């Protein structure tokens, strides 16, 4: 609820008439790593549906084991608690990640393409997916693979907010890694809208990408921010930001998402950057 994505999803669902229950209120001390706290949350809240977005998502997080404790084991705890609840939810949406595709030479990436994770974050999400499949016959689970997205309120530890922050402050220098890295970026408001539509859909026992179908390089992001602000920043390449296992390009196919939710109108990404720069 308090996370970057969760706030936008909550606002979108409330605007559609859904009642939102904060698990931290239902179960004080709520912790994915503590199964009993999840059991209590389900017993108190008796949710009709669950959208599970909580995770360690920063690829550069210091302790690799944390990815598995939270992203994999934590999700296992959640599903066990849901299955044991007196009131079993009618839909459980789990957020995986497009990072599980790794450095695939294929584009755009569809849900049937093989996984090839190249970092602990992606491995923990793939392990979560494989575990969740064991519950498909017992719980109405829909697994999403969100590609990159951004918006107002995202931590500056992520690249686009970092770049935007430097332009907003009219900084003279910014340290970045590989500017040729390209990602399928979406506006967080579009991602929230996709979650709302997926929640209302009858589809379960499936995996679906959440993406725009178009990739932008970091160089394009920098150039666009410079054009919008009229400010030029010196780019310094910092080797510390260059990862050997860096995924060079991720572009997703939104065909399955569109088939489930209907074609959605998406924000123009230049508009997203303007929104962030003006915030």
Q: How far apart are CA 239 and CA 243, in angstroms?
A: 8
In the prediction, which pLDDT does 174 show?
95
Residue 241's pLDDT is what?
Answer: 79
Token pair recorded at residue 242: 């260059």
Beta bridge partners of 206: 142
What pLDDT is recorded for position 246? 66
For residue 22, the model assigns a pLDDT of 87
Helix (H, G, I), strand (E, B) or coil at 115: coil
pTM as predicted: 0.93
Below-70 pLDDT ranges, the chain: 1, 243-247
Beta-carbon contacts of residue 270 (< 8 Å; ≥ 6 apart) = 224, 228
- Beta bridge partners, 210, equal 146
Q: What is the pLDDT of residue 172?
A: 97
Task: Establish whether the linkage from the previous residue to 50 is cis, with ω within 30° of 0.
Answer: no
The yes-or-no answer on residue 121 being catalytic is yes
pLDDT tens-digit readout, 120-143: 999 999 999 999 999 999 999 999
> Of 8, 121, 149, 195, which one is the catalytic site residue?
121
pLDDT for res 244: 64
Q: Which residues sit opposite 237 in a β-bridge?
A: 176
Q: What is the pLDDT of residue 245?
A: 60
């Amino acid at each position: 609820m308090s996370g970057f994505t969760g706030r936008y999803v909550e606002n979108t669902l409330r605007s559609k008439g859904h009642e939102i229950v904060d698990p931290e209120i239902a179960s004080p001390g709520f912790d994915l790593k503590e199964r009993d706290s999840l059991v209590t949350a389900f017993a108190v809240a008796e949710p009709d549906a669950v959208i599970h977005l909580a995770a360690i998502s920063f690829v550069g997080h210091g302790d690799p084991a944390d990815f598995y404790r939270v992203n994999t084991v934590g999700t296992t705890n959640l599903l066990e608690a849901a299955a044991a609840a007196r009131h079993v939810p009618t839909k459980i949406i789990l957020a995986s990640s497009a990072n599980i595709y790794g450095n695939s030479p294929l584009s755009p990436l569809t849900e049937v393409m093989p996984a090839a994770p190249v970092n602990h974050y992606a491995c923990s999400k793939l392990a979560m997916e494989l575990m969740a499949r064991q519950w498909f016959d017992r719980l109405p689970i829909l697994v999403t693979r969100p590609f990159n997205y951004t918006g107002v309120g995202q931590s500056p530890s992520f690249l686009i907010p970092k770049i935007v922050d430097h332009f907003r402050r009219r900084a003279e220098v910014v340290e970045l890694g590989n500017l040729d890295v390209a990602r399928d970026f979406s506006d967080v408001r579009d991602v929230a809208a996709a979650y709302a539509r997926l929640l209302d859909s009858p589809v379960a026992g499936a995996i679906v990408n959440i993406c725009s179908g178009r990739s932008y390089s970091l160089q394009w992001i920098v150039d666009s921010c410079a054009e919008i602000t009229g400010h030029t920043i010196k780019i310094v390449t910092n080797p510390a930001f260059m990862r050997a296992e860096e995924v060079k390009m991720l572009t997703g196919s939104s065909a399955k998402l569109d088939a489930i939710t209907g074609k959605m109108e998406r924000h123009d990404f230049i508009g997203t950057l303007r929104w962030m720069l003006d915030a």
